[in-house]
Chains A and B, each alone.
Chain A
Amino acid sequence: MSEVLKNLSDGLASVVETASPGIVRVEARRRMPGSGIVWSSDGVIVTAHHIIERTENIQIGLQDGTVVPATFVGRDPNTDLAVLRVDANLNPPAWSDADDLKVGHLVLALGRPGENVQATLGVVSAIEEEQIEERRRQRHGGHGEHGGRGGGRGGRGRWGEFRPAPAGGIAIQTDVVMYPGFSGGPLVDAAGFVRGMNTSAMSRGTSLTIATPAVRRVIESLLSHGKVKRGYLGIGAQPVRLPAAISKELEQEIGLMLVSVEEGSPAEKGGLLLGDILVGLDEYPVQVVDELLMLLNSDRVGKEVVAHIIRGGQLQDVKLTVGERE
């Protein structure tokens, strides 16, 4: 027998071993601990926002078994990223910003829910940018299918329906199964490079990884400002079912009716009125508030956007300048 399978097997295990010192256990919630990845040797750790249930008394478990306290630096719910800092010298894994990961590539998801690093294997299923292109085609190509969370494809997760690029970066969809405590751990390629941070935002067998360039942007923002800039329009909104004719034209069943418009806000300055129904922003459909929040990321702060609204039964476009949420 030749040695391809054995070499593959040994190669996978070596990748895990090499990355292992840079993967930590993050104890910041009552249930099972999560995972984190060392960002830099001076003690910066990136992890998943949703596993940080407390910002005091956070403990980090290291490769050698020691446990050290961490301070909370900041978080960005938009990308499910959080940054912690420990007073210790750490071994960062080899992070890669490369964009050469392709659908079909083998990848490992690693985590440290307990003492030791754990691993699982999968294949890249999709790259975020392709998803966005697909959604654009659906919206403008006329055979779209973006059923709302209410009546849409049913049961898909938060990221399943609609995925604007997190913080302008890309995300990687894989078929790896995120086991309990794997959130915040790395997605590692066959050469051992960390391609991003895994979140447990699973939907029907796909898992999501925030790609390294997006991770980098968020970490840099959190380290310098303690937060990530978020867009602000100044509206209160509620999902409503659209009139049948418009629903058919847009191939979209739900929109956001404005139930308040704050004085002096970007929405008021742009001319949005109570009762307008927001159905899209730039080239993206908007059906629920979460989608709007994801679109109002740091890239859009201070920029002009086109809001697609229904007013008096007619579709129209309104230009707005996105403000910054304080």
Chain B
Amino acid sequence: MGSLMSNLLQELNDELAEVTTKVRRSLVQITNGRGGAGAGTIWHSDGLIVTNAHVVAGHRTLNITLSTGETLPAKILALDQGLDLAAISVDAKNLPTIEPGDSRQLRAGQWVMSLGHPWGILNAATGGVVISMGSRVGDMESQNGQEWLAVNLHLRPGHSGGPLVDAEGRLIGVNTMMNGPEVGVAIPVHVVKAFLKDVLGRKESSEPVGSVQTV
């Protein structure tokens, strides 16, 4: 019994590390030339990255650093300060993308992990559970019906814009802020999808779904 339990814990640990490793590939660091930094997640292999608007808004110089250590200049494609979402792009191909999950199917109590660069600590992971979903988080109530995801994680400066993933490493939200000292708040990925579709409709639909075959 004892060894069975410790095997299970070991397996759990291995899987946590596996999820972290998988998600880290599509995690980027965003610097704005003023020492400020945030995180972002690679959405498309051709260089489309999602992050928070507050990470990039108002900055002329934006650089992103890939998990490989390579640094590239980035430009803002779209910004929605109300949603606190931004789409930025870098000139690159074949970047490792994150697998999107389904934030409409989340249940309270489910395991989640946040990745980012809290206080400048690069590629850090933290884990917890979903507290609740909806347009009300604690005493914070959305005026425009915007939905949020509340998690029992401590999101810190540098987590902003980074991925919140489920137990299988699929993107379910974008780390955004804290509500009070204890509740982490993320933007659910279905809101991110709608935002991207809205502002980058053509780009979204032109993403190839398979390789071209000659017949």
Contact = CB atoms under 8 A, between A and B. Distances in A.
B111 A5 contact: yes
Given A12-B129, A32-B139, A118-B131, A2 B109 contact: no
A304 interface: no
Interface in B104-150: 107-111, 128-134, 136, 138-139, 150
The bracket for how many chain B residues form the interface is 20 to 34
Q: Summarize B's interface: helix, strand, loop or mixed.
A: mixed
Q: Summarize A's interface: helix, strand, loop or mixed.
A: mixed
A180 B139 CA distance: 9
Contact of A5 (B12, B128, B136, B183): B12
Given A4-B12, A15-B109, A177-B182, A9 B138 contact: no
B131 A13 contact: no
B107 A17 contact: yes
A120 interface: yes
A9 B113 CA distance: 11
A119 B131 contact: yes
B194 interface: no
Interface in A86-120: 108, 110, 114-120
Contacts, number: 85
Interface residues of A, number: 28
A95 to B, nearest CB: 19
A30 interface: no
Given A2-B11, A179-B131, A180-B138, A16 B107 contact: yes
15 contacts: A1-B18, A5-B15, A9-B110, A9-B166, A10-B110, A16-B108, A17-B107, A32-B139, A110-B108, A114-B134, A114-B136, A120-B152, A121-B129, A180-B138, A180-B139
Interface of B: 8, 11-12, 15-16, 18-19, 107-111, 128-134, 136, 138-139, 150, 152, 166-168, 180, 182-183
Interface of A: 1-2, 4-6, 8-10, 12-17, 32, 108, 110, 114-121, 177, 179-180
